[in-house]
């Protein structure tokens, strides 16, 4: 069928499929036929595998009058942004993020007076940010993150009163932030992190009173934090970490009554932590590590939930023993010797500067690792506020009838919020210290990641006595139920799609954001299925956050026997290669329906060895027999099955350096799935 014959077509969505372009064509050929649809308003083609450039005709012909929305993120689109995009006079949304675009941003995009959203993030675009974008009076969202943009932050970005979200993070911008930048009183999200911005933060920052998220970490800002920051009373997330800010924390922080997340770590801050911060009742995350702070750590209020990690690298701090700092001298008015304090402060400052330098080097080297990611927003999200009363009411006081899961660290309930939204409520066991530690780890991981194949956090609720995570509800339960319950069955297509989903999530965790996340406990019970059978990875309770400098760590926390890589069990070594090993075991289990902890496997006789003994001639002995009960045309060929098992074996090599990466796993699995579906269609 020729799509161009659909003369009345107004909306087309082909998002998140396995569509490819004609390999003989350098441009997206099917868009050419769509140009005949003179009433077409919306084109959504994101999440495919086109790997071609955009046709030059896009800004001409019928579309120059009709097209209002063009969404083409995560397609492997190459080449430049066509300059004649500026002819699409009615264009409102333009989304080309997570592609392979090069070149510069055409200044003529500033002529698109109806443009409301411009997303060009996660490409290879360079050059400066055109000031013509400031002419867009209806602009609501601008996202240019993770490119190679250089030069200055345009001061005129303070002009468009309609602008609500601006993300320029992870570029090579080198300038100060001009005072006029803060002229917009209605902007709610500003992310300028991971650049080379310098100078001081202007007092005019206090003008942007609608700000909810302000992310300026990983730059070279110096001087004091402006006292006017206290005027930002809607601020929920504030990150100023990894800069060179000095002097005391302003007392005006006590006015940030909505604040939930505050990161001031790795600066040169001095003086005391204001006691009034304990009155910030919504504060859930607080980090002032690696500064030159001194004096008593506040106790009470939200500080009862913070751990030693929030204060490390400040030797002159004192307070409760759980913070791993010296005890305060309450009974004696005698002050510490000045010389000792100065030594402590200088040591902390030197440490902070060194870590900042290391971060900048790492940023330049590793920022561009992951390109083909699903349609995600990797910036920290603002969660809805839910009280313990809401949770108790939503679960009918934690009635056992609503209990849907039970683990070593706590219970999971199905709940209904006041707005009717059904959620999963994970209640951590208050009697187990490592359960509360697991809650802290899970919060730390989940606050910094977001992906369509990761279970979404809706909110959290915590005090000294309880810790609760509110998660999206997954009506189709876990992969474990589908593999090992006699009344459930997944056909081969479903199993392969689940594995592709999991591989996509793991690829993202290993390289899709500033930190490398090692899951450490990948197994079927931690893979949940939503209403559309889309798989999502869950349970980050023993995960590890690694930086580019520490891609291997050690732990005493064990994962699940049967899924652990050899180096994890014997030496406690943690790296992404351990997750790759777990995925290989998971792949074997999914296709054989045999658990690695089955009674069959004793001593050195493992699931992997059992499969090795049976392949290639006795495939029927290891493949789930239910798959063979289907018609031949619905069961993949012997060659395809062999390629899946070869992939699983490459994941489970005994030596970590011989295992492939999750990025390669994801590519291979998608090819296997595509080939299988083509075989089914052909037969």
Count of other CB atoms within 10 angstroms of residue 28: 22
For residues 487 and 539, membership in a common domain is answered with: yes
Q: Quick check: is 129 in a domain?
A: yes
Give the integer Cα–Cα distance in Å for 243 and 577.
32
pLDDT computed for residue 231 by the predictor: 94
Last residue of a domain, one of 452, 472, 492: 472
pLDDT computed for residue 311 by the predictor: 93
H helices of 367-468, where? 388-394, 433-446
Tens of pLDDT, residue by residue over 575-587, are: 888 889 999 999 9
Q: How many domains does the chain have?
A: 4
Q: Quick check: is 166 in a domain?
A: no
Tens of pLDDT, residue by residue over 588-630, are: 999 888 888 887 887 778 888 888 887 766 766 788 877 764 4
Q: Quick check: is 173 in a domain?
A: no
Give the integer Cα–Cα distance in Å for 281 and 264.
18
For residues 449 and 542, membership in a common domain is answered with: no
Give the integer Cα–Cα distance in Å for 181 and 357.
27
Q: Give 359-362 contacts, CB < 8 A, sequence gap 24+.
A: 359/218, 359/242, 359/266, 360/196, 360/218, 362/547, 362/548, 362/549
For residues 307 and 444, membership in a common domain is answered with: no
Last residue of a domain, one of 157, 180, 215: 157
Q: Quick check: is 670 in a domain?
A: yes
For residues 78 and 146, membership in a common domain is answered with: yes
pLDDT computed for residue 305 by the predictor: 83
Q: Quick check: is 669 in a domain?
A: yes
Give the integer Cα–Cα distance in Å for 108 and 112.
8
For residues 431 and 489, membership in a common domain is answered with: no
Tens of pLDDT, residue by residue over 403-423, are: 888 765 678 889 888 778 888
Q: Tell how far CA 99 is from the center of its chain.
A: 17
Q: Environment class of residue 14 by beta-carbon count within 10 Å: exposed (0-12), middle (13-18) or buried (19+)?
A: middle
Asked about 521 being catalytic, the answer comes back as yes
CA-closest candidate to residue 304, choices 444, 470, 436: 436
For residues 449 and 485, membership in a common domain is answered with: no
Q: Tell how far CA 408 is from the center of its chain.
A: 26
For residues 3 and 119, membership in a common domain is answered with: yes
For residues 142 and 252, membership in a common domain is answered with: no
Last residue of a domain, one of 108, 130, 157: 157
Q: How far from 234 is each of 383, 462, 621, CA to CA, in Å?
A: 14, 21, 62
Helix (H, G, I), strand (E, B), or coil: what is residue 405? strand
The angle subtended at Cα 263 by Cα 261 and Cα 264, nearest 5°, is 145
Count of other CB atoms within 10 angstroms of residue 387: 10
For residues 282 and 420, membership in a common domain is answered with: no
Q: Quick check: is 508 in a domain?
A: yes
Buried b (16+ CB within 10 A) or exposed e, 481-518: ebbbeeeeebebeebbbbbbbbbbbbbbbbbbbbbbbb
Q: Quick check: is 174 in a domain?
A: no
H helices of 395-491, where? 433-446, 479-484
Q: Which helix (H) or strand (E) holds 529?
A: strand 527-529
CA-closest candidate to residue 285, choices 456, 72, 457, 153: 457
Give the integer Cα–Cα distance in Å for 445 and 447.
6
Count of other CB atoms within 10 angstroms of residue 547: 14
Q: Check 390, 501, 521, 539 and give the catalytic one.
A: 521
Task: Identify whether the C-beta of residue 634 lies closer than 8 Å to the C-beta of residue 679.
Answer: no
pLDDT computed for residue 515 by the predictor: 64
Q: Which residues pair with residue 126 across a beta bridge? A: 148
Give the integer Cα–Cα distance in Å for 46 and 442.
30
Residues with Cβ < 8 Å from 392, sequence gap 6 or more?
398
Given a cut of 70, the residues of the chain with pLDDT beneath it are 1-5, 59-62, 64, 330-385, 407-409, 429-449, 461-466, 512-515, 540-560, 568-573, 616-617, 619-620, 628-640, 680-683
Give the integer Cα–Cα distance in Å for 650 and 346.
49
For residues 252 and 143, membership in a common domain is answered with: no
Residues with Cβ < 8 Å from 370, sequence gap 6 or more?
507, 508, 511, 512, 663
Give the integer Cα–Cα distance in Å for 154 and 397.
53
CA-closest candidate to residue 116, choices 74, 84, 152, 162: 162
| CATH (domain of 522) | 1.10.510.10
Pairing, β 422-428 against β 467-472: antiparallel
Domain residues for 242?
A: 195-366
Q: Quick check: is 171 in a domain?
A: no
Q: How many helices (H) and strands (E) does the chain have?
A: 13, 32
Helix (H, G, I), strand (E, B), or coil: what is residue 143? strand
For residues 393 and 537, membership in a common domain is answered with: no
Q: How far from 144 is each of 119, 120, 191, CA to CA, in Å?
A: 6, 5, 10
| CATH (domain of 77) | 3.80.10.10
For residues 338 and 448, membership in a common domain is answered with: no
């Amino acid at each position: 069928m020729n799509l161009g014959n659909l003369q009345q077509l107004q909306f087309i969505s082909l998002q998140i499929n396995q569509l490819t372009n004609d390999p003989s064509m350098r441009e997206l050929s099917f868009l050419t036929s769509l140009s005949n649809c003179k009433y077409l308003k919306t084109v959504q083609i994101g999440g495919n595998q086109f790997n071609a450039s955009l046709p030059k005709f896009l800004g001409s012909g019928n579309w120059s009058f009709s097209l209002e929305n063009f969404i083409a993120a995560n397609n492997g689109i190459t080449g430049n942004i066509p300059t004649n995009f500026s002819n699409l006079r009615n264009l409102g949304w333009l989304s080309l993020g997570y592609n392979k675009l090069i070149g510069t941003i055409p200044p003529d995009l500033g002529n698109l007076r109806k443009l409301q959203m411009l997303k060009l993030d996660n490409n290879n675009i360079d050059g400066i940010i055109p000031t013509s974008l400031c002419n867009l009076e209806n602009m609501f969202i601008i996202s240019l993150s993770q490119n190679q943009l250089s030069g200055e932050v345009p001061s005129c970005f303070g002009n468009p009163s309609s602008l609500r979200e601006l993300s320029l993070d992870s570029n090579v911008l080198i300038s100060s932030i001009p005072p006029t930048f803060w002229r917009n009183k209605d902007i709610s999200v500003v992310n300028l992190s991971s650049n080379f911005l310098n100078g001081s933060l202007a007092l005019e920052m206090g003008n942007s009173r609608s700000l909810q998220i302000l992310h300026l970490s990983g730059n070279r800002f110096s001087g004091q934090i402006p006292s006017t920051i206290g005027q930002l009373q809607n601020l929920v997330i504030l990150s100023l970490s990894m800069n060179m800010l000095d002097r005391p924390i302003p007392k005006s922080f006590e006015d940030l009554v909505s604040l939930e997340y505050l990161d001031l770590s790795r600066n040169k801050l001095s003086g005391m932590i204001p006691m009034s911060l304990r009155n910030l009742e919504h504060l859930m995350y607080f980090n002032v590590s690696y500064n030159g702070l001194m004096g008593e750590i506040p106790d009470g209020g939200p500080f009862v939930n913070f751990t030693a990690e929030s204060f490390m690298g400040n030797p002159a701090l004192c307070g409760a023993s759980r913070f791993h700092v010296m005890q305060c001298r309450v009974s004696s008015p005698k002050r510490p010797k000045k010389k000792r304090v100065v030594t402590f402060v200088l040591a902390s400052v030197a440490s902070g500067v060194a870590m900042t330098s290391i971060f900048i080097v790492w940023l330049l080297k590793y920022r561009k690792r992951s390109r083909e990611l699903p349609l995600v927003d990797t910036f920290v999200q603002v969660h809805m506020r839910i009280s313990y009363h809401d949770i108790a009411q939503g679960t009918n006081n934690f009635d056992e009838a609503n209990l849907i899961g039970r683990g070593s660290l706590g219970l999971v309930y199905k709940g209904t919020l006041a707005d009717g939204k059904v959620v999963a409520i994970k209640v951590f066991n208050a009697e187990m210290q490592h359960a509360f530690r697991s809650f802290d780890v899970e919060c730390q991981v989940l606050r910094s990641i977001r992906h369509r194949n990761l279970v979404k956090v809706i909110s959290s609720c915590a005090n000294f006595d309880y810790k609760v995570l509110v998660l999206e509800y997954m009506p189709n339960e876990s992969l474990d139920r589908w593999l090992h319950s006699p009344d459930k069955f997944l056909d081969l297509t479903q199993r392969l799609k689940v594995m592709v989903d999991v591989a996509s999530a793991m690829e993202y965790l290993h390289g899709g954001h500033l930190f490398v996340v090692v899951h450490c406990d990948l197994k079927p019970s931690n893979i949940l299925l939503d209403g559309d059978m889309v798989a999502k990875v869950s349970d980050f309770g023993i995960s590890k956050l690694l930086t580019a400098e520490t891609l291997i760590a050690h732990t005493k926390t064990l994962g699940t026997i049967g899924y652990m890589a050899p180096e994890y069990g014997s030496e406690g070594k943690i790296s992404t290669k351990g997750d790759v090993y777990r995925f290989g075991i998971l792949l074997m289990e999914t296709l054989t329906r045999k658990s690695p902890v089955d009674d069959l496997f004793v001593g050195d006789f493992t699931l992997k060895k059992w499969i090795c003994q049976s392949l290639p001639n006795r495939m029927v002995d290891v493949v789930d027999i239910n798959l063979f009960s289907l018609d031949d045309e619905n069961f993949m060929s012997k060659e395809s099955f062999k390629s899946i098992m070869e992939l699983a074996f490459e994941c489970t090599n005994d030596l970590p350096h011989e295992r492939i990466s999750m990025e390669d796993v994801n590519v291979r699995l998608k090819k296997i799935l595509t080939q299988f579906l083509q075989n089914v269609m052909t037969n």
